[in-house]
Structure 1
Amino acid sequence: MYRYDEFDAQFVAQRVAQFRDQVARRLSGELTEEQFKLHRLMNGVYLQLHAYMLRVAIPYGVLSSRQLRKLAHIARRYDKGFGHFTTRQNIQYNWPALADCPDILDELASVEMHAIQTSGNCIRNVTADQFAGAAADEVADPRPYAEILRQWSSLHPEYSFLPRKFKIAVTGAPKDRAAIQVHDIGYHVIKNNRGEIGFAVYVGGGQGRTPMVALKIRDFLPEAELLAYTDAIVRVYNLEGRRDNKYKARIKILVHEKGAEAMRTAVEAEFAKVRERNLTLPDADIQAIQSYFALPNLPGKPVHAEAVEARRAKDAAFDRFVAVNVTPHKVAGYGVVTISLKPIGGIPGDATAEQMDLVADLAERHSHDEIRVSHEQNLVLPHVAFEDLPAVYDALAAADLATANAGLVTDIIACPGLDYCALATARSIPVAQRISERFGDSPRAQDIGDLKIKISGCINACGHHHVGHIGILGLERKGEETYQITLGGTADETCSLGTLTGPGFSSEDVVDAVETVVNTYLGVRRDRSEDFLSTFRRVGMAPFKQALYEKNEGAGI
């Protein structure tokens, strides 16, 4: 895990002091809200529907126990006792007082954390695979490259005022768990035929009102050229991106308007200029950063612990948890444990201060002091010995954190929606809760299998509905909340955008509509081994549309 050096500590401390002065001037009336807006956004402070909101950066989703305990403390002291983990691997506090924000940032700085560039038209928090460094299928750990990008982009003088926000994601396994193809830049760590590490480069992905899947503009970028090529891409965007219309200011619009070949040509031309400025990464610097992310010393453990197998045989709930929420580790005898923040009927992504403290304790005892935040709004213990699984499970179960639904129908992504967000046009959280309650934690949910439902409360798509197997978009129509449904989206290595089923559904009818979609899938799949996405791609929209509309005329709006 990366540790602050003297520069990092001084840099963050200076920003806290600067923001403290800006907040004091706002509270005294010296600054108007409009004058203050840019300052607060560059420090992660939003003005939401009911109060200010503070978004804290968690670079590439990695936390220590000490840091998670500090987040719990902040939730308890400065908020309403909980935090909300987001699809950008960050945490949000929805109720801080503006006067307290400098003190919160000061407390964050004490554990090497901050809120810089979690908002504004800049390069946002760089995200990565939540299983990075532990996954059995990994080619290379993407976190060192995410850290290099974080250091380079933090308050970059040329890129602090881009046409719009800019998001980068890095993944290091054939299975894309970081959704890189719906980012402004996506880097896929690969090896060429000589065994050299490099990157496949994707540009121009994004969601929102104009969703697009990124285009691959480089099959292989040498490892040492990471910053130079990133600089070239962002320079082309900064110089050519639209500034006359914020809805057309993202790089995806530039890529669409220029075309893939013209964009590739422009980036490569800029890349040639950047290389002359000697932005090539020295191998010693790469190795120095990689040393921070070395795999912990994991002593040999039994692959099949007898006590664990005996517990699985007699405890169905524990058996489901191991089968669903534990992923293979690259070291035999260990597993990667996903802690679901989606209890049945709960608010997706929320965790109480007490739950955060518990997870910190478990990480310290059983996961070599590491926690990860996933873009699917869950927490992860990346290095758990199989023989420790019963103890971990029992502690999680006592805190309502042992729901065995990772990747299943109730593992729902949802934005805060109209309950918190000033931009939202409909509620997301209640819909997610009702869907969760409808399907429950039952054999039926297990039988449905891999099925990702994602819900957004407006066209900004913070709930990633465009890439949900079932996507739900809440809109306001004639004073009523209505929900459009899309099918067939996915954010993985086979990335695709969902297709609209047809007219939207009322708040009363949307959960029934989701159940109709699920029942249709169960009726047309070949067998239990064919998941929802595979089935949809095989049979197309027709059977789902028929079930939703022809048999339920009048349900749609």
Structure 2
Amino acid sequence: MYRYDTHDQTLVNERVAQFRDQMNRYLAGRLSEEEFLPLRVQNGLYVQRHAPMLRIAIPYGMLASYQLRKLGDLARDYDRGYGHFTTRTNLQLNWPKLETVPDMLAELASVQMHAIQTSGNDIRNTSSDQFAGVAEDEEVDPRPWCELIRQWSTFHPEFTYLPRKFKIAVTGSAEDRAAIQVHDVGLRLWRDAHGEVRVKVLAGGGLGRTPMIGEVVREDLPWQHLLTYLEALVRVYNQFGRRDNKFKARIKILVKALGVEEFRRRVDAEWAHLKDGPQTLTRQTVEDMQHHFVDPERRPISEAAIADYERLRSENRAFARFVTNNVHGHKVPGYKAVTLSLKRSGHSPGDLTWEQMHQVADLADEYSYGELRVTHEQNLVLSDVAVDQMEALWERLGELGLANPTVGTLADLICCPGGDYCGLANAKSIPVAHAIQERFEDLDFLYDLGPVELNISGCMNACGHHHVGNIGILGVDKKGEEWYQISLGGAQGNEASLGKILGPSFSREKVPEVIDKVLQVYVGERIEGETFVETYRRIGLKPFKERVYA
């Protein structure tokens, strides 16, 4: 993991002191609400439906065990004993008291964490592949490049007040697990015939009120120019992005309005002033950053141990279910990455208690070299588990309620906090998630369905990524009542697509029945080996619509 140097630590400490002074002046009445608003949002502090909310940055989803323990401490000491992991791989605490936030930020700084730029019209937390550094299909480890982007973008003097928020995602694998096509900027790292890193740059993706798939702006950018090209791209957005209408202020609207060719031309023109300038990356700079992300000293795993693991998998059905769904391949033989499911029936997706945070931190120390990851599907990952420890880990996870063998199934749904917390939401999301989990809890049925991505958002801001769910659910307001719109056919990954609205919306109590009818069509129409989204793409929306509205 990246560790702060003296400059990093000084910068974060000074920001804590600065915000403490700003908070004191606000509480004393010397700063108005209007004056305090931009100061608090750039430190991750929102005012939600019932209480303040602090959003804590987890850069590119990486956590050390001691950092997770600190998050648990904050949830216990300053909040109501739990936290919520988001689709941006951040952690949200939904009940802090305003006057305690500077103390919380100071505690975060003590473990090299912060809440800087987790809100506001700036460059937000960069996200990446949860299996970065260990994935079997990885060409380039994206973590050093994510850290370079983080350092470039934090407190960037030109980009503190962009037209709207700006999100960057990076992947270096054959399979896109970072959803780069639906970000303001998506970066795909790859190697040319000489082994040199190149970058495919996409811009103009995003969800929300006007969902769009990103366009390719640059196919093969040399690695040396990553930061200068990003600088040029964001400058063009900063200059030409709309500021008169916040609903049309995202870069996707600019790319669409100009057309990708004209947008590319403007970026290239701006880049001409920056290319080969002071921010051009050198090989030494990249190598220095890569030294922060070296592999742990993994002990060798014998062929006999691997054989024992496979034998246990064949003999123990419950263990086999866990391995099939929650355990992922690893670049090193004898090791696996393990996803800890934060999706249990009756529990809010993405939530973890402070006790569980401490317990998972202990597991990371014991089984994964003190490191874990947060996924944008709102789960956690232990990235380096030896197969001869897998059974013991599985048993421990079962005791904590985190071994639910449903990762990648319908039950592994994504869900924003919705109207239970968020002041922007039109409808509640969590009760809908609970109802769906309760309706479809039979494991044999879930496994028969195969991979189905179901995403729920409480409003058009799409924090639950409903647009790219195979089945998407959006909360809408109808004359003060909560209703839910269903969309089908969305997908993330290499074949990203946006879902199409099924038809008129439904009351909350009817949503599980509607989902059941949708699944009945899929089961009846699929051919052998087809996933839900493949069947949808073959037969289209009409059969689903006819069944649901019959």
Q: TM-score, normalised by structure 1?
A: 0.97
Give the distance between the partners of 1:200 and 1:128, measured in 2 at CA.
15
Aligned to 2:206: 206
Aligned to 1:275: 275
Q: Say whether 1:252 aligns with 2:252.
A: yes
After TM superposition, give the deviation of residue 218 of structure 1 in Å: 1.1
After TM superposition, give the deviation of residue 16 of structure 1 in Å: 0.3
Q: Partner letter of residue 148 of structure 1?
A: L
Aligned to 2:481: 480
Give the distance between the partners of 2:154 and 2:38, measured in 1 at CA.
16
Are the aligned partners of 2:416 and 2:464 in contact in 1 as well (CA < 8 Å)?
A: yes
Are the aligned partners of 2:225 and 2:276 in contact in 1 as well (CA < 8 Å)?
A: no
Give the 5 Å matches for 1:53-92: 53-92=53-92
Are the aligned partners of 1:415 and 1:463 in contact in 2 as well (CA < 8 Å)?
A: yes
Give the distance between the partners of 1:157 and 1:205, measured in 2 at CA.
24
Q: Say whether 1:134 aligns with 2:134.
A: yes
2:408 counterpart SS class: coil
Are the aligned partners of 2:75 and 2:83 in contact in 1 as well (CA < 8 Å)?
A: yes
After TM superposition, give the deviation of residue 319 of structure 1 in Å: 1.3
Deviations 1:476-512 (A, max 9, x none): 1022211111111112111110011111111111111
Give the distance between the partners of 1:343 and 1:302, measured in 2 at CA.
35
Using the TM superposition, name which of 204-213 and 272-281 deviates more. 272-281
1:292 counterpart SS class: helix
Q: Partner letter of residue 418 of structure 1?
A: G
Aligned to 1:492: 493
Give the 3 Å change call, closer, same or farther, for CA 144–276 of structure 1 in structure 2. Answer: closer
Aligned to 2:430: 429
Aligned to 1:464: 465
Are the aligned partners of 2:138 and 2:174 in contact in 1 as well (CA < 8 Å)?
A: yes
Give the distance between the partners of 1:545 and 1:520, measured in 2 at CA.
10
Are the aligned partners of 1:344 and 1:441 in contact in 2 as well (CA < 8 Å)?
A: no
After TM superposition, give the deviation of residue 31 of structure 1 in Å: 1.6
2:189 counterpart SS class: strand
Are the aligned partners of 2:41 and 2:120 in contact in 1 as well (CA < 8 Å)?
A: yes
2:293 counterpart SS class: coil
Are the aligned partners of 1:181 and 1:205 in contact in 2 as well (CA < 8 Å)?
A: yes
Give the distance between the partners of 1:113 and 1:175, measured in 2 at CA.
29
Using the TM superposition, name which of 59-68 and 344-353 deviates more. 344-353
Are the aligned partners of 1:302 and 1:387 in contact in 2 as well (CA < 8 Å)?
A: no
After TM superposition, give the deviation of residue 462 of structure 1 in Å: 0.5
Give the 3 Å change call, closer, same or farther, for CA 84–360 of structure 1 in structure 2. Answer: same
Q: Partner letter of residue 321 of structure 1?
A: F
Give the distance between the partners of 2:84 and 2:537, measured in 1 at CA.
34
Q: Say whether 1:509 aligns with 2:514.
A: no
After TM superposition, give the deviation of residue 276 of structure 1 in Å: 5.1
Give the distance between the partners of 1:538 and 1:254, measured in 2 at CA.
33
Aligned to 2:386: 385
Identity %: 54
Give the distance between the partners of 1:344 and 1:492, measured in 2 at CA.
27
Q: Which runs of 5+ in 2 are unaligned?
A: none
Are the aligned partners of 1:163 and 1:250 in contact in 2 as well (CA < 8 Å)?
A: yes
Q: Partner letter of residue 222 of structure 1?
A: P
Give the distance between the partners of 1:65 and 1:446, measured in 2 at CA.
32
Q: Partner letter of residue 364 of structure 2?
A: A
Aligned to 1:353: 354
Aligned to 1:418: 419
After TM superposition, give the deviation of residue 195 of structure 1 in Å: 2.5
Are the aligned partners of 2:374 and 2:380 in contact in 1 as well (CA < 8 Å)?
A: yes
1:508 counterpart SS class: helix
Give the distance between the partners of 2:521 and 2:138, measured in 1 at CA.
35
Give the distance between the partners of 1:276 and 1:136, measured in 2 at CA.
34
Aligned to 1:12: 12
Q: Partner letter of residue 126 of structure 1?
A: T
Aligned to 1:166: 166
Using the TM superposition, name which of 214-223 and 189-198 deviates more. 189-198
Aligned to 2:49: 49
Are the aligned partners of 1:417 and 1:427 in contact in 2 as well (CA < 8 Å)?
A: yes
1:269 counterpart SS class: helix
Are the aligned partners of 1:13 and 1:109 in contact in 2 as well (CA < 8 Å)?
A: yes
After TM superposition, give the deviation of residue 35 of structure 1 in Å: 1.7
Give the 5 Å matches for 1:199-348: 199-275=199-275, 277-302=277-302, 305-348=306-349
Give the distance between the partners of 1:441 and 1:24, measured in 2 at CA.
53
1:19 counterpart SS class: helix
After TM superposition, give the deviation of residue 358 of structure 1 in Å: 1.2
After TM superposition, give the deviation of residue 537 of structure 1 in Å: 1.0
After TM superposition, give the deviation of residue 34 of structure 1 in Å: 2.1
Deviations 1:31-81 (A, max 9, x none): 222221111101000000000000000000000001000001111111111
1:362 counterpart SS class: helix
Give the 3 Å change call, closer, same or farther, for CA 273–485 of structure 1 in structure 2. Answer: same
Q: Alpha carbon RMSD of aligned pairs, Å?
A: 1.1
Give the distance between the partners of 1:390 and 1:339, measured in 2 at CA.
14
Are the aligned partners of 1:405 and 1:441 in contact in 2 as well (CA < 8 Å)?
A: no
Using the TM superposition, name which of 447-456 and 476-485 deviates more. 476-485
After TM superposition, give the deviation of residue 86 of structure 1 in Å: 0.3
Q: Partner letter of residue 132 of structure 2?
A: A
Are the aligned partners of 1:119 and 1:165 in contact in 2 as well (CA < 8 Å)?
A: yes
Give the 3 Å change call, closer, same or farther, for CA 306–191 of structure 1 in structure 2. Answer: closer
After TM superposition, give the deviation of residue 232 of structure 1 in Å: 0.7
Q: Partner letter of residue 52 of structure 2?
A: Y
Are the aligned partners of 1:44 and 1:56 in contact in 2 as well (CA < 8 Å)?
A: yes
Give the distance between the partners of 1:512 and 1:192, measured in 2 at CA.
50
2:273 counterpart SS class: helix
Give the distance between the partners of 1:204 and 1:484, measured in 2 at CA.
25
Give the distance between the partners of 2:121 and 2:183, measured in 1 at CA.
15
Give the distance between the partners of 1:244 and 1:277, measured in 2 at CA.
33
Give the distance between the partners of 2:81 and 2:442, measured in 1 at CA.
26
Aligned to 1:554: none
After TM superposition, give the deviation of residue 391 of structure 1 in Å: 1.1
Give the distance between the partners of 1:74 and 1:462, measured in 2 at CA.
24
Q: Partner letter of residue 380 of structure 1?
A: V
Using the TM superposition, name which of 102-111 and 479-488 deviates more. 479-488
Q: Which runs of 5+ in 1 are unaligned?
A: 552-557
After TM superposition, give the deviation of residue 361 of structure 1 in Å: 0.6
The count of aligned residue pairs is 549
1:398 counterpart SS class: helix
2:219 counterpart SS class: strand
1:440 counterpart SS class: coil
Give the distance between the partners of 1:426 and 1:179, measured in 2 at CA.
25
After TM superposition, give the deviation of residue 306 of structure 1 in Å: 4.7
Using the TM superposition, name which of 145-154 and 22-31 deviates more. 22-31
Deviations 1:157-208 (A, max 9, x none): 0001100000000011111100111101000011123332111110000111
Aligned to 1:122: 122
Are the aligned partners of 1:57 and 1:115 in contact in 2 as well (CA < 8 Å)?
A: yes
Aligned to 1:39: 39
2:274 counterpart SS class: helix
1:217 counterpart SS class: strand
After TM superposition, give the deviation of residue 540 of structure 1 in Å: 1.0
Give the distance between the partners of 1:350 and 1:116, measured in 2 at CA.
22
Aligned to 1:188: 188
After TM superposition, give the deviation of residue 465 of structure 1 in Å: 0.3
2:516 counterpart SS class: helix
Give the distance between the partners of 2:373 and 2:442, measured in 1 at CA.
24
Give the distance between the partners of 1:291 and 1:544, measured in 2 at CA.
52
Give the distance between the partners of 1:394 and 1:80, measured in 2 at CA.
28
